Amino acid sequence: MPFRPMNLAPIFPQPRADPISEPGWATELKLDGFRGLADTINGRMLSKNLNPLKRLQHLLDALPYDCVFDGEICVLDSDGRPQFNDLLFGRGDPVYVVFDLLFYEREDIRSLPLKERRAILD
């Protein structure tokens, strides 16, 4: 029977108007791409709404292990800046920027603090 992660969904960021200075919080740059889950266990790229992203399946090739990664799919310009319109209209080579790990070696690790998941990801 194939492994099927239950209740699979990205962990959505919470926007704030003011910067966070409290300990224990993490901030991320907005990469201006498509949010995506990379499920190397079942060989699929999924949108944040869990729709298959078949034209981006090749992004799985560089990802190791039996994991589910959370990240952003972007197209970068020659200066390394994300260009949303290039991604939207299929110009340029998409990259997958991983920022979280939800399943590691087929184990659900979403209950671990982000700091610990990132340590495993590193």
pLDDT digits (tens, 9 = 90+) for 78-92: 999 999 999 999 999
Give counts: helices (H), strands (E), the chain.
2, 5
pTM for this model (two decimals): 0.81
**Which superfamily is assigned to 34-121 in CATH?**
DNA ligase/mRNA capping enzyme (3.30.470.30)
Question: Is 48 noted as a catalytic residue in this protein?
Answer: no
Please tell me the distance from the alpha carbon of residue 82 to that of residue 59, in angstroms, as a whole number: 17
Among 30, 48, 54, 115, the one annotated catalytic: 30
Span 23-74, pLDDT tens digits: 777 777 778 899 999 999 889 999 988 899 988 888 888 887 789 999 999 9
